[in-house]
């Protein structure tokens, strides 16, 4: 990845602030650095490493030409997510998650097509033949559909991945994606269960500065993937024009992920952060809790 994550920038954005210690999810323990004034502090080296990992995966998905659906309905994340998703030319949901958005995608597509049919009515003059009351009803329906589904109008098939801000709030989206085996990328705070997500970015998902920092990095990674796709297409086209037949495009050398800084202690901490974290399964957690209760009795 050409993009690098500076730990200092994450610190300035407040990405390290978690929830109150009494509201924590024990499965987030590997990503927590310490406790301060009753609040958990997230290990920013872990955050930086996971951001780079997620960024590389998202760039590959974008380079393949598939869509990534952004989901964030909380007030402080709406505008930021909408802005960054539009910048990366990706679909997003920021109003409310329509039940069956993924599992009943055919019905959702019908609602999107309804918007297109209303637009055609206005162009071909059919709209003008309606009564005043009917036109008002059509306008209201169009406005409602546009508010909830306008941002996914170009998504003609299921997305290749979901990027979610706050998996606890967007639990329905998480369940639908899991049912269809769609990989989930997410900003996960200390009150959430990281086992629900394939690509965890441990971070503060409540502060707008933190959300903005992570989202801008994610959008940059997707844009980089899209530019690689465009460059690859242009290269193939040139080869075809030159020889009259398709030639395999030259594979660009994969750039190594950069560490946050050149400092030796930073490099060491980053290396440790990149190690895989072994999380207990839900069954193991329940069995451990049961055995501890038996010992107490």
| CB 90 within 8 Å of CB 151 | no
Q: Is residue 279 part of a domain?
A: no
Q: Has residue 272 been placed in a domain?
A: no
Is residue 230 within 8 Å of 219, Cβ to Cβ?
no
Domain that holds residue 109: 103-156
The predicted-structure confidence for 19-42, as pLDDT tens digits, reads as follows 998 889 999 999 999 999 999 999
At which of 231, 247, 277 does a domain end? 231
* 275 lies in some domain: no
Same domain (yes/no): 60, 127 = no
Measure the CA–CA gap between 10 and 46, rounded to whole angstroms: 11
Residue 199 belongs to some domain of the structure:
yes
Of the pLDDT bands very low, low, confident and very high (cuts 50, 70, 90), residue 2 is very low
Closest C-alpha to 222, from 69, 80, 60: 60
Confidence of residue 164 (pLDDT cuts 50, 70, 90): very high
Same domain, yes or no: 86 and 44:
yes
Q: What is the CATH number of the domain that holds 68?
A: 3.40.50.10490
DSSP-based three-state secondary structure for 32: strand
Element (H, E) at 165: strand 161-165
* pLDDT above 90 coverage of the chain, percent: 53
84 and 113 together in one domain: no
Segment 73-85 shows an average pLDDT of 93
Q: How confident is the model at residue 5 (pLDDT cuts 50, 70, 90)?
A: confident
CB contact at 8 A, 7 and 261: yes
The helix/strand/coil state of 164 is strand
Mark whether 108 and 53 lie in a shared domain: no
pLDDT of res. 123 = 87
Residue where a domain terminates, one of 177, 196, 231: 231
Does residue 117 surpass a pLDDT of 50?
A: yes
- Domain final position from 205, 231, 257: 231
In this structure, is residue 138 part of a structural domain? yes
Q: Is residue 295 part of a domain?
A: no
- Cα 11 to Cα 45, 53, 84, 143, 265: the distances in Å are 10, 19, 21, 41, 17
Q: 15: how many CB neighbours lie within 10 A of its CB?
A: 28
59 found inside a domain? yes
On whether residue 297 sits in a domain, the answer given is no
> How does pLDDT run across 139-161, given as a tens digit for each residue?
999 888 888 888 888 888 999 99
- Is residue 93 located within the same domain as residue 36? yes
pLDDT value of position 259: 44
- My answer on whether 152 and 168 are in the same domain is no
Better-scored residue on pLDDT, 241 or 152: 152
Tens-place pLDDT, residues 268-282: 666 776 666 666 666
* Same domain, residue pair 164 and 53: yes
Residue with tokens 């997510």: 81
Report the domain count for the chain: 2
Residues 152 and 163 in one domain: no
Q: Which of 185, 2, 4, 1 is nearest to 81 (CA)?
A: 185
Residues 177 and 225 in one domain: yes
Mean predicted confidence (pLDDT) in 101-117:
90
Q: What is the CATH number of the domain that holds 142?
A: 1.10.287.610
Query: Does residue 59 carry a pLDDT above 70?
Result: yes
The answer to whether residues 89 and 28 belong to one domain is yes
Contact 63, 161 (CB under 8 A): no
- CA–CA distance, 88 with 216 (Å, rounded to integer): 10
Q: What is the DSSP string of 47-86?
A: HHHHHHHHHHHHHHHHHTT--EEEE--SHHHHHHHHHHHH
Q: Among 235, 294, 222, which Cα is nearest to 68's?
A: 222
Residues 6+ apart with CB under 8 A from 215: 80, 81, 84, 165
Residues 152, 12, single domain; the answer is: no
**Same domain flag for 107 and 65:** no
41 three-state secondary structure:
strand
Q: What is the pLDDT of residue 46?
A: 92
């Amino acid at each position: 990845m050409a993009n690098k994550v500076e730990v200092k920038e994450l610190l300035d954005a407040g990405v390290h602030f978690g929830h109150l210690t009494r509201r924590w999810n024990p499965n987030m323990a590997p990503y927590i650095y310490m406790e301060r004034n009753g609040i958990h502090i997230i290990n920013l080296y872990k955050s930086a490493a996971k951001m780079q990992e997620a960024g590389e995966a998202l760039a590959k998905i974008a380079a393949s030409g598939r869509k990534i659906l952004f989901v964030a309905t909380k007030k402080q994340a709406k505008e930021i997510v909408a802005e960054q998703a539009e910048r990366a030319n990706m679909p997003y949901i920021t109003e409310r998650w329509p039940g069956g958005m993924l599992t009943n995608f055919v019905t959702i597509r019908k609602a999107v097509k309804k918007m297109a049919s209303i637009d055609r009515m206005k162009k071909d003059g059919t709209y003008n033949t309606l009564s005043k009351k009917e036109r008002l009803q059509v306008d209201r329906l169009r406005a409602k559909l546009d508010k909830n589904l306008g941002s996914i109008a170009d998504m003609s098939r299921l997305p290749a991945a979901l990027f979610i801000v706050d998996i606890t709030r967007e639990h329905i989206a998480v369940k639908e994606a899991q049912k269809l085996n769609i990989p989930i990328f997410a900003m996960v705070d200390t009150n959430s269960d990281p086992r629900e997500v394939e690509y965890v970015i441990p971070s503060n998902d409540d502060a707008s500065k933190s959300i903005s920092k992570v989202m801008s990095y994610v959008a940059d990674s997707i844009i980089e993937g899209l530019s690689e796709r465009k460059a690859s297409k242009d290269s193939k086209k040139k080869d075809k024009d030159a020889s009259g037949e398709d030639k395999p495009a030259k594979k660009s050398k994969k750039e190594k992920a950069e560490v946050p800084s050149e400092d030796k202690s930073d490099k060491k901490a980053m290396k440790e952060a990149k190690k895989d974290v072994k999380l207990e399964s839900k069954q193991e957690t329940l069995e451990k809790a049961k055995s501890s209760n038996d010992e107490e009795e």
